[in-house]
Structure 1
Amino acid sequence: MTAYLIADVDVTNPAVFEEYKREVPATEARYGGKYLGRGGLTKILEGDWQPHRLVIIEFPDMASLMAWYESPEYAPLKAIRETCARTRIIALEGTAAVPS
């Protein structure tokens, strides 16, 4: 079942974050990840949430998502991100397709 990584990223050092942003897509792709949204315009429809830079990445399943997140390829990039951004990240399992 498809899984989604959803991140709200508050970039505190844009120059360093550029390195992270440039390098991370190749690591995600190795685990089947693809961007559905990455830093685009957001519009608050309800509530008091004030997101910063939102990112949504789709993976084939939760196991692939977690394998990427815990991978040796991503570890050094995660360390870079932690120096230049405050991030909230969740993993969300998708729903099975409903037959029509």
Structure 2
Amino acid sequence: MAAFVIVEADIFDSAVYDEYKKLTPATVAAHGGKFVLRGNPVEALEGEWKHDRLVMLEFPDKKSARDWYYSKEYQTAKEIRSKGSTAKFLLIEQ
């Protein structure tokens, strides 16, 4: 069953975040994942959107998504990301 990772990010150093964006695609692909959407701006049709960026990843299943998130390769990218942004990561199964 497909699983999705939804990310809400707030960027305070775009140069650092750009470095993170270069590292992430290979880590996602290595775990069978793909980007469903990756970007901004987000238009709030109802309620408020107070984040800089929204990303959605799709993985074959929750295990693949967790394996990606906790992988050594992604943890290296995550360390860089934390120097340029804050984020919330949500894991949802279809």
TM-score (normalised: structure 1): 0.89
Partner amino acid, structure 2, of 1:15? A
Secondary structure at the aligned position of 1:46 is classed as: coil
| Cα pair 2:7 2:89 within 8 Å, conserved | yes
Secondary structure at the aligned position of 1:83 is classed as: coil
* Alignment pair present for 1:7 and 2:1: no
| Cα pair 2:11 2:86 within 8 Å, conserved | yes
Q: How many angstroms does 1:20 deviate by?
A: 0.5
Q: CA RMSD in A?
A: 1.0
Larger Cα Rg: Structure 1 or Structure 2? Answer: 1
CA distance in 1 between counterparts of 2:45 and 2:51 reads: 12
Secondary structure at the aligned position of 1:74 is classed as: helix
2:27 — aligned with what? 27
Gapped runs of 5+ residues in structure 2?
none
1:70 — aligned with what? 70
2:52 — aligned with what? 52
| Cα pair 2:59 2:65 within 8 Å, conserved | yes
Q: How many angstroms does 1:38 deviate by?
A: 0.3
